[in-house]
Amino acid sequence: MSKLNIFSIFGMLFLSSVLLGSGMYSTNQIFALNQTGTENEAEIEADIEQENKCKNDTECENENEINNSLNVINNGTQSQQSQTDTQTCEGCFTDNLDAEQISAFELALADATSGEITSIAEFCEFVEFIINEGGNEGLSDIIGLLYFAGNNALISQQDLDAIAECIEQVYGIVLPPPV
């Protein structure tokens, strides 16, 4: 056999295998598209069926209304609870300290201020005064007095940090770190 015949036989075999392979590939693609399309159609039909059911049936509407009102009630209860726990400056102390620690803190406040501030309520008035009158320069006075009196009352750093963070949230301020 001549070289030309051998090459033409191999060429024809190669070409037919390529065509056969590409035909199978495109058939698989079409099959995959049809299968995916059928699945999508089934999902769409199920959605439409559910939508029609809800339009014709008041159960869906009632169920949605009940779920929505439960969510509103739950969210309202949670936000009211968090606001009542620490919505005031005084709450920042009562939420983080026990009665003994509060008494010790108030004694330390009185000592630190020479009797000018003798209670948590007066400390909170001081905080409000500083915020309204002193601006940012007075914020270091707030944190300084809080930590000075707190350390003298043997209140933990963790509790003082929690009180400071709470005061920041109540007044919408950022206190400097304690020195």
Per-residue pLDDT tens digits for 75-134: 444 444 444 444 899 999 999 999 999 999 999 999 999 999 999 999 999 999 999 887
Q: What is the pLDDT of residues 119-178, one digit of tens each?
A: 999 999 999 999 988 777 889 999 999 999 999 999 999 999 999 999 999 999 999 988
Cα-Cα-Cα-Cα dihedral sign, residues 39, 42, 46, 48 = positive
- The conformational region for residue 135 under phi > 0 = left, psi -120 to 50 = alpha, else beta, is left
pLDDT value for 87: 83
CB environment 58-82: b (16+ within 10 A), e (fewer): eeeeeeeeeeeeeeeeeeeeeeeee
CA distance 103 to 59: 58
CA dist list (Å): 152 to 110, 117, 146: 11, 15, 10
Q: What is the pLDDT of residue 178?
A: 85
Minimum mean pLDDT range among 15-19, 43-47, 99-103, 117-121: 15-19
Domain ranges of the chain: 3-83, 88-171
| CB within 8 Å of 65: residues ≥ 6 apart | none
Q: What pLDDT shows up at residue 90? A: 96
- pLDDT score at 16: 52
State pTM to two decimals: 0.53
Tokens representing 169 are 């949230």
